[in-house]
Structure 1
């Protein structure tokens, strides 16, 4: 014999019920079958809500009752052939008439007792089981039986305890004489010894099915729902979650206790003793094998699932008066028990100075009041502090029978959470080591679940979630490079890079599943209005693990929001030099915040675009080398300009070409004034360990004062034409000495300067072509022959690749 239970979603409408009947037919062809059904859809909730309305005003119940009648009668008309409909409709109408009479009584007596609520709630299953049974009779050898005639309980109306002796006798007597292949019963409902209707509480339909399976010695209990078994995590929260093929009773109870909605923990108890397997199946995908719950688990993975409970409050009782004094725990839990408050989690310091418990949010006020009253004397004597209540919390838990045989799981769990800035408020682990639980902020629950699922279940593919601002030359190429290399990175570096948000100065666009980079321009054009603050708030609200803010701008205001991102554990990758060349205190603060909140702050492209200048410098310093001197050509723009400028062309035209080819900033004066180079040598000096401000850099500009003081690009270019003779003179002076003009940055003995120099033919900088950069590091180890880094130092493509490299560094961390 098999027992099959179908939940509310499985019988929500006539289409679903037809699927149920097809499944029942397939199963019953092989053996006798007991079918337990829930109420249609959300019927039970509506019945109870309507009871509250009846208490206020009986006239308020007309609409919800009408909606319930419409649902049930429409299902009858769709499921049952015409000649049989009248009898079923008549019986169902009588049930609704009784229900209306109860509501009227509630209004007249102005009383809504637990006994009455149980009667009201019972109508959902009484109606659904009767209708489904009559539909089944037309197809199968089936009958209907009222569960209230079989399952006997005590008189606790809404959460009744089953009398298994009487229930066992009733079931045996009935089923021994039952000649039908299929018996359909309503779940959740029962009766006490006086015949008064009771209900089995939360998860009651599952429990009813488990009772029948245990009493009848079924070879399997099947729970049919709308998902294909128990999952490694909640699939609505963790997209990569997958069904668990087989799991033990203990593991299933742990997962169910901590929020796995497909099964309610007490359900397992009746079948656990008889070692009857439970199979979780999907009504809408019946061929899927689902999850088998049995005595033993065949999968030896240490962690079977990750689950969580929302709406948790943490209550802490602490004080020096507890130390060494027995009885505090007893009084605490006795008080909570008397108030019917369920304790979800317990942890106690070994010093006995405090006890911490997790309870459901709705119980917190009553628990706080009751405990403060019970311990009022100790609180007045200052032996105890008043109960501390913390809210907006959740519990996450790792579950698995084999966790106790694997070292380091707790370390992996808390390390992964720590890296993503998930603060753990309390920890609990039983001696059996089948569960490791942690209390965290509710806002971090989604991030924590995804982080742990990635850590324990997924092929070591790390997901990075990017939020990109600035989609001009550099930004556009950066997005193109990600789009091109995404699959390569996933396959070869085990990095899954998703762009979740993009913005420019006007618009922003987000997609939680990742933006389609083949159409990002259209998506952004149809996005919503953007500001730096609104973009940050949106990024923060996602609270994704491994989040990275990418700044492809040269905008000072963007650089001023880095701290906000870092403080929220969001890494920052930038080609924008302004932050690292800002006040020394701000530079140092960004470094501190990055370290404190475990949020990388990477800016390799601040110097040398895609060249590994800063990374090399960091490695030198980290390995104990000391930097004494730096000589460098750090402006690809200026190198391009002076490599192409001569007496055959104009300075104006060469600069214009440099801008058109993407070598300059949007404002070319930033490059030509030397400010950009000054910032770069300042950053290198700071990364070498020296404390300098931008004002400490001597900037020997070659531009005329009038050019430096222009207010826009048109005026700037006009001034270049005006001073062409000045630029030609510079070229001639160098050329007459057989030298080339190079804009050089130097740092030595704690001092730095930038300016135009005449470079002779025997100098390493002389043959630096195009827009290339070159950096010479003179250190303890490289004192005579400097460490040299040379290559392309400007251009959107190489800058984008440098940003991309920083993103990959974060992924590989």
Structure 2
């Protein structure tokens, strides 16, 4: 029984601190003979490339060379010859200020040669009798330096010859990533080539298992560094794993799987730092259908080829890809237009300029005849692939992407119909991963909330959301994450979400503009964004379009946006439509009552609404309900309303009638009427002498209102009570209706007269119902009621995302 164990650079980086890698090898050696394949230690390859480029540019590199030596230094292990060669190469490059890929390969190979000798010696020091084998003597390649292709026939002969001589050895160590030409010139197999080395050795020695030790517990449904909810995949078949490798799974080489298939050698991805994990098994065994993982191809470029004059001509595609193949340029994703001769395909970013030049040369005659119009490069892209995605069910993740403002530049469906690749802007790929992963794998959908306004309603709302998060997550599979809380002076952020101790975070001043909310959401790639406006100011509603353009839906208890000019009102709706966003404001009229929703449904269904009348203000309802029937002065009733939190900080905002007028205007505009606020006939209940006072002066002089209101009360008949009403009437099929707010006397036995407490009531008259109105009645004021209504709008939006 024998196994191949491969260890990546990050696994080797911990050798200075612990013996995890050596202990793993020792434990497997008890039951199997082992072939250990190692990458360069830590970031050695990157350091070597950095040194090479500094030498080429005649820059000092002594500090980087020192770092490299420290990373690869182990007591009593002689690597002097390798470092002497490294220094000689760097000195030569500095002199001529240039280097070839052949020189680069010779330099980079030293990393694997050093690491394999270090591991061999450390195992020997543990008395494990390890034997070093030079991979460059086994792996034979062509002379395409930096990404050499393996000559499997010669490599198999070499491997079998060398290993037959070592048949009595149970522990053999060699470096991955490196090989040599027939002439003995050292080559490298490209990044992640160590996996290919290990797979080839496994095939040619016919081991029972290939164990690939990395820095993670296996292959995940997405990169767990980018998507925290990613889940480990227990098992994949060879085909699925090959697709993952091809489309960017970083811990698999695109060519790794192929050598294992013929001999049906299982591959298991394991974690050096967590050897107890069972990792991910890749084998010939079938697995259930369905999406397996999301992968990402970075460092790529999109080549756009446009040539309307080539429409219908045979052989154009062959010319493109033949020209690229001759220059060893690989194409990963292709998407072709049908209405015109358009072709987009993805290449390695390092090959983009060369690709453009090759095609310009190939199609030079076609440029002259103007059959080819343009060949361009887009470097600002990333390819996100959904491995196992059936096109039939792709509409859900695609719709979720669009709702989050992510529109793929191109997308490609594989021949099998089970893999879809999306080309998207580089800045959006992490957000795209979160959105798609949540849709596909059934994990809870995260809805990110920015709450502006932490006054009475805002504070209650935050507490309600925090208290309800767990049951909502369990019942609805929605995670509500409050990532930002703001007031008029400060904005506070918490990417993990504020908890019940959120108020303590406002003890330290943290001034910021509201623009920082947008910036923060972009920086942290937050998806499913909702701005919640619990302010009463005009400044934030005027910026709604800015938030909408940046991916936010809006929920608001603030009435201002719906009562500014009709031009602003229309522009806001157009912005929402353009961005496919929603704006919910049920609490604008009637606090938590389902008034706006019902009026929208009636109007959209074609029902002609002829009049709306009612007590729109829960505050004024409370005041005049008490004042009409209790023998108390008006000042005492008003103070009671203030103490209960029913009024605005300045009660005149309620008594002026403007709040009722705004609510009435909102309903009018729901019926597509074009009225403006200044066109409403508003009865102001504040005597003129009190209108210019400061808030504190007004509150101190409330008794001065008593004579004014006593005269109004004395005019009531025994069966009458006072109600402040709003009324929308006139021909509501025209552009404008008649809107007025006024204090009236009503029969105490009428629906309006029977109101109690802070209830609101709305009478909706329609053509179908005639004189019998639809009545909606209930609590119309109070922080808890309003906050609950805002919360309801948030949940309605969350379920749509």
> Scaled by the length of structure 1, what TM-score is found?
0.93
Aligned to 2:255: 266
> How far is 1:6 from its partner?
0.2
In 2, the alpha carbon distance for the partners of 1:52 and 1:532 equals 44
Equivalent residue in structure 1 for 2:142, among 133, 154, 171: 154
Q: Which residue of 1 aligns with 2:133?
A: 145
Deviation at 1:500, TM superposition (A): 1.1
Select 2:457's aligned residue among 451, 474, 477: 474
Contact 1:701 1:756 (8 Å CA) reproduced: no
1:555 to 529, 533, 537: 537
Counterpart contact for 1:17–1:132, Cα < 8 Å: no
**Correspondence for 2:729 among 745, 748, 754:** 748
Q: Is the 8 A contact 2:518 2:550 kept in 1?
A: no
Query: Equivalents in 1 of 2:57, 2:559: separation in Å?
Result: 67
1:614-671 per-residue CA deviation (whole Å, 9 max, x = no partner) reads 1121222233322111111011111122223378544334323322322122332221
CA–CA distance in structure 2, aligned partners of residues 336 and 666 of structure 1: 72
1:415 partnered with 2:399: yes
Deviation of the 1:283 alpha carbon: 0.8
Cα distance change, pair 705–369 in 1 and its aligned pair in 2 (3 A): farther
Give the alignment of 1:424-503 within 5 angstroms. Answer: 424-459=408-443, 461-503=444-486
Match of 1:39 in 2: 40
CA offset at residue 133 of structure 1? 0.8
| Residue 306 (structure 2) aligns with | 318
Confirm whether residue 777 of structure 1 aligns to residue 760 of structure 2: no
CA distance in 2 between partners of 1:493 and 1:626 (Å)? 36
Shift of 1:534: 2.8
1:65–1:440 distance in 2 versus 1, CA, 3 Å: closer
Q: Distance in 2 between matches of 1:692 and 1:347?
A: 50
Q: Alpha-carbon deviation of 1:356?
A: 1.5
In structure 2, what is the Cα distance between the partners aligned to 1:234 and 1:285? 18
How far the C-alpha of 1:398 sits from its partner, in A, is 1.3
Check the 8 A contact 1:10/1:17 in 2, yes or no: no
Contact in 1 for aligned 2:448/2:483 (Cα 8 Å): yes
- Residues 272-293 of structure 1 deviation map (CA, whole Å, 9 limit, x = unaligned): 3332211111111111111111
Superposed displacement of residue 577, structure 1:
0.4
1:267 to 1:658, Cα distance in 2 relative to 1, 3 A: same
CA RMSD after TM alignment: 2.1
Is the contact made by 2:15 and 2:21 (CA closer than 8 Å) also made in structure 1? no
Worse-superposed segment, 409-418 or 178-187: 409-418
Q: Which whole-Å CA distance do the structure 1 matches of 2:217 and 2:728 have between them?
A: 66
Q: How does 1:192-211 map to 2 (within 5 A)?
A: 192-211=181-200
Label 1:527 to 1:331 Cα distance change in 2 as closer, same or farther (>3 A). farther
Match of 1:696 among 671, 676, 679: 679
Aligned to 1:119: 106
Secondary structure, in 3 states, of the residue corresponding to 1:529? coil
**Counterparts of 2:353 and 2:655 in 1: how far apart (Å)?**
67
Shift of 1:575: 0.3
Deviation per CA, 1:563-622: give whole Å up to 9, x if none: 112223311000000111111222222223223322110000000111111112122223
Query: How many angstroms does 1:754 deviate by?
Result: 0.5
CA distance in 2, matches of 1:470, 1:620: 32
Query: What is the CA–CA distance in structure 2 between the aligned matches of 1:314 and 1:62, rounded to whole Å?
Result: 38
CA distance in 2, matches of 1:591, 1:337: 51
Q: Could you say what secondary structure the match of 1:632 adopts?
A: strand
Equivalent residue runs for 1:281-430 within 5 Å:
281-298=270-287, 300-351=288-339, 353-400=341-388, 403=389, 408-430=392-414
Q: Would the alpha carbon gap of residues 359 and 317 (structure 1) be closer, same or farther in structure 2, given more than 3 Å must change?
A: same
CA gap of 1:493–1:70, structure 2 versus 1, over 3 A, is closer
Q: Secondary structure at the match of 2:601?
A: helix
Q: Deviations over 1:740-776 (max 9, x none)?
A: 1111111112212111111212211112111111111
What is the SS of the residue equivalent to 1:468? strand
Deviation by residue 1:335-360 (Cα, 9 ceiling, x = unmatched)? 33345433221111234521111233
C-alpha contact (below 8 Å) 1:707/1:716 kept by paired residues: yes
Maintained 8 Å contact 1:311/1:442: no
Deviation sequence 1:298-352 (CA, Å, 0-9, x none): 2x13211122223443322223211111232222223333454332211112345
Please state how far the C-alpha of 1:17 moved relative to its aligned partner.
Answer: 5.8
Structure 1 unmatched ranges of 5 or more? 78-84
Identify if the C-alpha distance between structure 1 residues 192 and 527 changes in structure 2 by more than 3 Å, giving closer, same or farther.
farther
1:590 to 572, 583, 593: 572
Deviations 1:24-80 (A, max 9, x none): 11211111110001111111111222123334448x34322222222333xx24xxx
Q: 1:233 to 1:499 in 2, by over 3 A?
A: same
Q: Which runs of 5+ in 2 are unaligned?
A: 731-736
* 1:571 counterpart residue number: 553
Within-5 A mapping of 1:232-251: 232-251=221-240
SS of alignment partner, residue 160 of structure 2: helix
**Taking structure 2 as the reference length, what is the TM-score of the superposition?**
0.94
Q: Which residue of 2 aligns with 1:82?
A: none
Alpha-carbon distance between aligned partners in 2 of 1:415 and 1:439, rounded to the nearest angstrom? 16
**Secondary structure, aligned partner of 2:603:** helix
In 2: Cα distance, 1:98 partner to 1:365 partner: 33
- The answer as to whether partners of 1:225 and 1:280 remain within 8 angstroms in 2 is yes
Partners in 2 of 1:52 and 1:766 — Cα distance?
86
Q: Which moved more, 1:306-315 or 1:635-644?
A: 306-315
When the two structures are aligned, how many residues end up with a matched partner? Answer: 790
1:70-149 matches, cutoff 5 A: 70-73=70-73, 76-77=74-75, 85=76, 88=77, 91-139=78-126, 140-149=128-137
Write the deviation string for residues 183-205 of structure 1: whole angstroms up to 9, x where unpaired: 11111122222322222112111
Compared CA separation, residues 577 and 483, structure 1 to 2 (3 A): same
Query: In the alignment, which residue of structure 1 is the partner of 2:582?
Result: 600
The equivalent position to 1:800 in structure 2, one of 783, 787, 793, is 787
CA distance in 2, matches of 1:747, 1:658: 27
Q: Secondary structure at the match of 2:561?
A: coil
Q: How many angstroms apart in 2 are the aligned matches of 1:746 and 1:659?
A: 26
What is the CA-CA distance between 1:478 and the residue it aligns to? 0.2
Distance 2:224 2:258 in 1: 26
Provide the C-alpha distance between the structure 1 equivalents of 2:379 and 2:139, rounded to a whole number of angstroms: 40
Distance in 2 separating the partners of 1:550 and 1:354 = 44
Are residues 490 and 46 of structure 1, via their aligned partners in 2, closer, same or farther at CA, if it must alter by over 3 Å?
same
Cα gap change, 1:158 to 1:359, in 2 (>3 Å): closer
**Within-5 A mapping of 1:526-541:** 526=508, 528-541=510-523
**In the alignment, what sits opposite 1:786?**
773
Does the 8 A contact of 1:372 with 1:386 survive in 2? no
CA distance in 2, matches of 1:372, 1:194: 36
1:184 to 153, 173, 184: 173
| Residue of structure 1 in register with 2:750 after alignment | 763
Deviations 1:695-737 (A, max 9, x none): 2221122221232344x31233356433431122112222x44
Classify the secondary structure of the residue corresponding to 1:433: coil
Partner of 1:80: none
User: Cα deviation per residue 1:151-201 (whole Å; 9 max; x = unaligned)?
Assistant: 222233322222222222222122222122111111112222232222211
Confirm or deny that 1:626 pairs with 2:615.
Answer: no
What does the per-residue CA deviation read over 1:120-164, in whole Å, with 9 as the maximum and x for residues that have no partner? Answer: 111111111111111111332322121122222223332222222
